[in-house]
């Protein structure tokens, strides 16, 4: 058991028969009444995001999540195959459960698979990934005075806003939490 006063971003807890990851939290101490913790939680089974308020000092169960390093191999219809780097065991995950992560996954890419008591919860991506631009409009000289941006489609099908100087074939570093351009690779 863990006290809600000890919440940290990224902590995994068990509440209401679900496994939740703390995305954001705020300790609130009103002038009148008892203190409480307002939190934003993501359900690791369904991906649903929920705001929940706990009384200060309330205890919740801590979920022990195992992160296993695996390599993304290929898509097999609606299933996506991952291989454990140590045991070479392969698991399949349905596309619906990793819909957001598929925008960043390339074949042979290493990711962390979240496991809870033998159940596969999902894929944890690295903070940034390197992807190639497959389609973008050519930058026109002199267009950068206002520091604008243009859409670019990457090799995984993801579309992000990039600066005008980015061209087709460039390799970019993309932030996976915000789906945004970071820099050239």
The 10s digit of each residue's pLDDT in 70-85 is 999 998 888 899 999 8
Count of other CB atoms within 10 angstroms of residue 40: 16
Separation of alpha carbons 78 and 131, rounded Å: 23
For residues 26 and 37, is the Cβ–Cβ distance under 8 A? yes
Q: Is 70 helix (H, G, I), strand (E, B) or coil?
A: strand
Confidence band for 57, pLDDT divided at 50, 70 and 90: confident
Report residue 80: phi and psi, to 5°.
Answer: -120, 130
* pLDDT at 171 exceeding the cut of 90: yes
Query: Is 129-184 assigned to CATH 2.40.50.140?
Result: yes
Residue 32: CB partners within 8 Å, gap ≥ 6?
none
What residues does 92 pair with on adjacent strands?
A: 81
The pLDDT, as a whole number, for residue 137 is 87
The pLDDT, as a whole number, for residue 143 is 56
The pLDDT, as a whole number, for residue 173 is 93
The 10s digit of each residue's pLDDT in 96-150 is 878 888 889 988 999 999 888 888 888 888 889 999 999 998 866 665 556 678 8
Q: Is 11 helix (H, G, I), strand (E, B) or coil?
A: coil
Task: For the chain, give the percent of residues with pLDDT over 90.
Answer: 32
CATH 2.30.30.30 boundaries in the chain: 2-62
Confidence band for 1, pLDDT divided at 50, 70 and 90: confident
The domain made up of 66-124 has a fold known as: OB fold (Dihydrolipoamide Acetyltransferase, E2P) (2.40.50)
The 10s digit of each residue's pLDDT in 35-56 is 999 999 988 887 788 999 999 8
Domain range 2-62, its CATH number among 3.50.50.60, 3.40.120.10, 2.30.30.30, 3.90.1330.10: 2.30.30.30
The pLDDT, as a whole number, for residue 141 is 65
The 10s digit of each residue's pLDDT in 6-22 is 888 888 899 888 888 88
The pLDDT, as a whole number, for residue 123 is 86
Please, what's the b/e burial string for 88-114 (b: 16 or more CB within 10 A of its CB; e: otherwise)?
eeeeebeeebbeebbbbbeeebebbbb
The pLDDT, as a whole number, for residue 154 is 93
User: What is the pTM for the complete model shown?
Assistant: 0.72
Separation of alpha carbons 161 and 149, rounded Å: 6
Count of other CB atoms within 10 angstroms of residue 147: 8
The pLDDT, as a whole number, for residue 69 is 92
For residues 107 and 74, is the Cβ–Cβ distance under 8 A? yes
The pLDDT, as a whole number, for residue 144 is 58
Confidence band for 185, pLDDT divided at 50, 70 and 90: confident
Separation of alpha carbons 133 and 124, rounded Å: 23
Separation of alpha carbons 120 and 172, rounded Å: 30
CATH 2.40.50.140 boundaries in the chain: 66-124, 129-184
């Amino acid at each position: 058991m863990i006290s809600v006063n000890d919440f940290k971003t990224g902590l995994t807890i068990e509440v209401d028969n679900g496994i939740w990851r703390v995305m954001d939290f705020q300790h609130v101490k009103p002038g009148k009444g008892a203190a409480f913790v307002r939190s934003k939680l993501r359900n690791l089974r369904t991906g649903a995001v929920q705001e929940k308020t706990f009384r200060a000092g309330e205890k919740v169960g801590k979920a022990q999540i195992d992160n296993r390093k695996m390599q993304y191999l290929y898509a097999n219809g609606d299933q996506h195959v991952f291989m454990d780097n140590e045991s070479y065991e392969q698991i399949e995950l349905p596309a619906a459960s990793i819909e957001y992560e598929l925008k960043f996954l390339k074949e042979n890419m290493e990711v962390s698979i979240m496991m809870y008591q033998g159940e596969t919860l999902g894929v944890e991506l690295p903070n940034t990934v390197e992807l190639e631009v497959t389609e973008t409009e050519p930058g026109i000289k002199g267009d950068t005075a206002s520091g604008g941006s243009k859409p670019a489609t990457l090799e995984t099908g993801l579309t992000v806003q990039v600066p005008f100087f980015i061209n087709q074939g460039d390799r970019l570093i993309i932030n996976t939490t915000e789906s945004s351009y970071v820099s050239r690779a």
